[in-house]
Amino acid sequence: MVPPTFLRTIEDSGFSTWLRESESPFAFYFVLLFHTFGLALLVGANTVVDLRILGVARDIPLAPLKRLFRIMWLGFGINALTGVLLIIAYPTKALTNPVFYLKLTCIAFAIWIVTLLKDRVFDADLDEPAMMARGATLAKWSLLLWIGAITAGRLLAYTYRYLTYPC
């Protein structure tokens, strides 16, 4: 089955070609580097919150970790922008791969969990034991979903059928 022709239209654009083929350090590898930075901010901060809710490092108060949600959203913004650029560089590779959609599904559910954690755990007037109790299941799901998203993201480099639109 041949991929839809709109993928070729994207690939044939000057911007896509530049991202994919340029030797400039500000093209593909720069975008990939910043995608990794965004991932570190988003998932790193989220993991700190999740592990603390699950009882790791009990000496650190839980309530001040609410500030990490700003870092998570910054990381998400960086990843959304760089993710779109990576899709523009290789639309056929990404959009014809079922693993890409698994990654997006894991990310969507993980972001939903982030909002639930903030709304139901950090924005509620709860003491620390109640915060931990209310957030434990969400924190476990969050960790599982981020592991799934990262794993699927890495597998994208190896599971594609088409790198570019077939000639």
- Give residue-wise pLDDT tens across range 133-167: 999 999 999 999 999 999 999 999 999 998 988 87
What is the reported pLDDT for 2? Answer: 59
Nearest alpha carbon to residue 94 among 33, 164, 2, 21? 164
Asked whether residue 1 carries a pLDDT value surpassing 70, the answer given is no
User: What integer is the mean pLDDT of 6-12?
Assistant: 94
The residue whose two tokens read 């990310």 is 107
Report pLDDT digits (tens) over 23-43. Answer: 999 999 999 999 999 999 999
Q: Where are the domains of the chain?
A: 5-155
Q: For 140-158, give one letter per residue: b (16+ CB within 10 A) or e.
A: ebbbebbebbeebbeebee
